[in-house]
Amino acid sequence: MVKLVFYTITKTVLHLVSLLVSVAFLTLVERKVLASMQRRKGPNRVGFLGLMQPFSDGIKMLTKELIFPSSSNRNLFVLAPLITLFFGLVGWVVIPFGEGLVFVDMEFGLLYLFAVSSMAVYGIIVAGWASNSKYAFLGGLRSAAQMISYEVSIGLGLLPLVVVSGGLNLTKLVLFQSYIWFCFPFFPLMLIFFISVLAEVNRPPFDLPEAEAELVSGYNVEYSATGFVFFFIGEYSNLILSSVLFTTLFLGGFLGGTVAVVLKYVLVLYIFVWVRAVFPRFRYDQLMRLGWKVFLPFVLGWLVFTVGVVWL
């Protein structure tokens, strides 16, 4: 029993450390890629080729003064970034990195991820309300509406995969793709899932909850130091999780060997960054129209079509 507890704690700590390091270097890669696309150098001062820049930024943020707005609800103000960080980390427990290489191989792993992703919105809502700022409050409302709208498209868009594979277990979904990757028969659903994930994690061109031109950073406008760092880690952890989940569901997951799997993860993350550099931000009405009037009818129709084909 003691060995099992020690093994679980060690595995959890190693996972958290590797995830935090991944978040740190993802920020560096993003800044480098954006700089390259905009014909500038990007971070290149701290360490060799700027490799220590993320750690320099982290130390700088963590040593800043933690400021509480005088009119904020202090308890909820502190709790909000913790909620975002917590739900940005717990989704990883059902992600399979190999056959048997998973924290908890639950039969309803995909359903668990839906539940975790739907709970993550509460951190942003609480932050927007507890800050007692109009900009933060509007950012929280936008995020709530945006995440709820696109969760519907994500959930219904993944049901055809469940119907075909016959279960919600992520390992079984990956092993089923040993015949053919789901990206080929379900290519339109793959595109919808990718775009919906961008909206779900508040990434450009759907970063309306934190639109700096309109809301001065939105829901986290009043946060500094540790609170801002927690929001930042939670957002980028969700981004990496979305990349891994996308690979698991549509690109064969852990099939193909370690090198191929890492390349797939990196490619999807690069596309996330590329989208930020290429596409302008949507208007809010365009975002809602795309989710409810385009994606939702399409995924419903595809679900009915898939059920009909499987039944026949």
Where do the domains of the chain lie? 1-63, 67-311
Please tell me the predicted confidence (pLDDT) of residue 213: 67
Confidence of residue 304 (pLDDT cuts 50, 70, 90): very high
Average pLDDT of the residues in 173-193: 91
From CA 292, how far away is CA 282, in angstroms rounded?
A: 15
For the chain, how many helices (H) and strands (E)? 13, 0
Average pLDDT of the residues in 292-296: 92
Please tell me the predicted confidence (pLDDT) of residue 249: 93
pTM: 0.90
Dump pLDDT digits (tens) for 107-145: 888 999 988 888 888 888 888 889 888 888 888 888 888
Dump pLDDT digits (tens) for 36-75: 988 888 888 888 888 888 888 888 888 888 888 888 888 8
Q: For residue 205, what are the CA distances in angstroms to 79, 195, 302? A: 28, 9, 26
Written as six digits, the tokens of 22 are 């991944």
Percent with pLDDT over 70 in the chain: 98
Please tell me the predicted confidence (pLDDT) of residue 158: 92
